[in-house]
Amino acid sequence: MTVRGSAILVAAVAALALSQAAPAPAAEAAKPDRQSWSFQGPFGHYDRAQLQRGLKVYREVCQACHGLKLVAFRNLAETGGPEFSEGQVKTIASEYKIQDGPNDKGEMFERDGRPSDRFPSPDANEQAARARFNGSYPPDLSVIAKARSYEVGLPGALADFFRQYQEHGPDYLQALLTGYQEPPAGVTLPDGQYWNKYFPGNRIAMSQPLQDGQVSYTDGTPEKLDQYARDVSAFLMWAAEPHLEQRKRIGFQVMIFLIIFAGLMYFTKKKVWADAH
């Protein structure tokens, strides 16, 4: 492309970035810091051990209140995920009770989980969950890592395009889980409300779910709040985008193919047009 052509391309991308930069979420909330994630960038991939630790945090803490209903136990063994063995997945699944039925007598019954089941939610329905939390609702976490973001402004959105930065969701989760504070002087919070620097509006109905030392890690990873938050955020990113590794791998192959194809096509075109004048 000519210099002008590429200037116009950059302008077009800038225009797109402009439209992406603009939506402003609710005021007050602090902007999350950028973390460094193993799965960012063109060759990004999940860190298996981290996903396994993240699952442990989810199961021992978050699961008491949040569902993960779109994820099946069998997914835990699939490539590009935590890659537990089939046996481990069977064990994990069997630790859950699943509602099944109706049976021959027309009754619902409970049985042990199987790898083909999905994670059961802690509450029977949204109303039951709201009743438990003064009307607040702990959202299902299956796609939460893609359902949260933060404003980046214009140069930021443009830079994200070129850097392929898509990890705003996990950044936010990490910030949210570590962002609990005493409310500012003069603010009294009613029972069941807590102050979080990163939550839109700051008043959140979830008490600080993670504390140092709360979940025991067997691989020597520090048992610290910051580490727990990081691990569970990475795990939730996998839960939201289980085929990320395959996507990036195929993307690279497609790009190589297209670059070679474009090169061949360019010279073909040049040759064809050579005798036109």
Partner 1 sequence: MSELNLKNPVLRWFEARLPIMSFMHHSFVTYPTPRNLNYWWTFGGILTVMLIIQIITGIVLVMHYTPTTADAFNSVEHIMRDVNYGWLIRYVHSNGASMFFIAVYIHIFRGLYYGSYKDPREVLWILGVIILLLMMATAFMGYVLPWGQMSFWGATVITNLFSAIPGVGQAVVTWLWGGYSVDNPTLQRFFALHYLLPFVIFGVVILHIWALHHVGQNNPTGIDVKSNKDTVPFTPYAATKDNFALILFLMFFAYFVFYIPNYLGHADNYIPANPLQTPVHIVPEWYLLPFYAILRAIPSKLGGVVAMFASILVLVFVPWLDTSKVRSARYRPMYKQFFWILVICCIGLGYLGAKPAEGVYVIAARILTFYYFLHFLVILPLLGYLEKPKNVPPSIADSVLKGRESDPMPARAGARR
Q: How far apart are CA 208 and CA 30, in angstroms?
A: 17
Candidate ranges 85-93, 174-182, 213-221, 250-258; the one touching partner 1 (CB under 8 A): 250-258
Mapped onto helix, strand or coil, the DSSP state of residue 194 is strand
- Strands 194-196 and 97-100, by their bridges, are unpaired
Cβ 182 to ligand HEC shortest distance, Å = 18
Tally the residues of the chain: 277
Cβ 105 to partner 1 shortest distance, Å = 28
Query: Which of ligand HEC, partner 1, none is residue 254 near (CB under 5 to 8 Å by kind)?
Result: partner 1
157 binds ligand HEC (CB under 6 A): no
For partner 1, which is the closer residue by CB, 19 or 218? 19
Q: How far apart are CA 245 and CA 48, in angstroms?
A: 12
Q: What is the DSSP string of 223-262?
A: --HHHHHHHHHHHHHHHH-TTHHHHHHHHHHHHHHHHHHH
Q: Which of 30, 133, 161, 217 binds partner 1 (CB under 8 A)?
A: 161
Cβ 57 to ligand HEC shortest distance, Å = 6
Q: Which of 29, 71, 173, 175 binds ligand HEC (CB under 6 A)?
A: 173
Candidate ranges 56-64, 92-100, 228-236, 269-277; the one touching partner 1 (CB under 8 A): 269-277
Q: How far apart are CA 122 and CA 140, in angstroms?
A: 10
Do 67 and 119 touch, CB atoms closer than 8 A? yes
For partner 1, which is the closer residue by CB, 109 or 252? 252
Query: Which of partner 1, ligand HEC, none is residue 66 near (CB under 5 to 8 Å by kind)?
Result: ligand HEC
Q: How far apart are CA 44 and CA 109, in angstroms?
A: 43
Strands across the sheet with 203-204, in order? 180-181, 194-196, 203-204
* Beta bridge partners of residue 196, listed in sequence order: 180
* Beta bridge partners of residue 110, listed in sequence order: 99
Query: Residue with structure tokens 């050579």?
Result: 274
153 binds partner 1 (CB under 8 A): no
Q: Which of 39, 42, 97, 135 binds partner 1 (CB under 8 A)?
A: 42
234 binds ligand HEC (CB under 6 A): no
Counting residues that bind partner 1 (by CB under 8 A) gives 56
66 binds ligand HEC (CB under 6 A): yes
Q: Which of 72, 232, 239, 244 binds ligand HEC (CB under 6 A)?
A: 232
Query: Residue with structure tokens 């569902």?
Result: 67
Q: How far apart are CA 236 and CA 230, in angstroms?
A: 10
Cβ 63 to ligand HEC shortest distance, Å = 8
Within 8 A by CB and 6+ apart from 102, the residues are 108
For partner 1, which is the closer residue by CB, 89 or 215? 89
Do 50 and 38 touch, CB atoms closer than 8 A? yes
For partner 1, which is the closer residue by CB, 20 or 193? 20
Give me the residues that bind partner 1 (CB under 8 A), please.
1-2, 4-5, 12, 15-16, 18-26, 42, 70, 75, 139, 142-143, 146-149, 160-161, 164, 166, 168-169, 200, 240, 242-243, 247-248, 250-252, 254-255, 258-259, 261-262, 265-266, 268-269, 272-274, 276-277
